Amino acid sequence: MEYILGKREPYCIFCPEGDGHTDAERLILHRGRLTMVMMNKYPYNNGHLLVAPWRHVGLLQDLPDEEMLDLMRWLRKSATILKNLMHPDGFNIGLNLGAAAGAGVDEHLHFHIVPRWNGDTNFMTVFADVRSIPEHLEQTYWKLKPHFAKEGNPHENF
C-alpha cells in the first residue's frame, strides 16, 4: 500500500545524483562506471534487485553495446551472488519496457532479478494480494553489500 498510495520520489531513483540520499538510504549495492545495482524498495520477494544503466535511457535500442554488455554482466553477477548467499531454487529476471508493460519508472529502463523458492507463493499472495517478506530490507542490504563490494572493481573497463 505504501507504493500505491505513497508519495513518489521527485527524482529518478536510478540516476546517480539521488537527490542527496546516501547509497544505503537508496539501497544501492553497486556503483559501476556504467551500471548500478540496487534493492527494490517494494520487493516481490526477499532479495529482489534492480539493475540499471546510470544513463537516463528508456529504450533498449538507445543502449550502446558497451552499456548492454555491462548490464548483462551485472545481471549475471547479481544472480550469482543471490544464488550463493540466499540459495533460491530459481529466478525471474525481466525488463518491463513502458508503462503499458508494467514499468513503474518507464523513462529509465531497469532489469528485475527476483529470487524464487519452491512454494514461495502462499495464501497471503493468492487470497489477499499481500506479500510477506521474511527479512527486513536493511538486514538484507547489509548481508548483500559486502558481496557486491567484492565483485565490483573500482577500475572497471568494460
Query: In angstroms, rounded to a whole number, what is the distance separating the alpha carbons of residues 121 and 124?
Result: 8
Query: In angstroms, rounded to a whole number, what is the distance separating the alpha carbons of residues 153 and 72?
Result: 16
Split at pLDDT 50, 70, 90, the class of 30 is: very high
Q: What is the pLDDT of residue 126?
A: 46
Q: What is the pLDDT of residue 157?
A: 40
Q: What is the pLDDT of residue 5?
A: 54
Q: What is the pLDDT of residue 14?
A: 81
Catalytic pick from 48, 56, 108, 110? 110
Which amino acid, residue 138?
A: E
Q: What is the pLDDT of residue 152?
A: 67
Residue 12 has pLDDT above 90, yes or no: no
Average pLDDT over residues 139-157: 76
Q: What is the pLDDT of residue 96?
A: 87
Residue 112 annotated to the active site: no
CATH no., domain 11-151: 3.30.428.10
Q: Which three cell numbers stand for residue 40?
A: 527494490
Note the pLDDT tens digit of each residue in 63-103.
999 999 999 999 999 999 999 999 999 999 999 888 888 87
Note the pLDDT tens digit of each residue in 119-132.
876 544 544 555 55
Q: Do the Cβ atoms of 156 and 32 come closer than 8 Å?
A: yes
Beta bridge partners of 49: 39, 113
pTM: 0.78
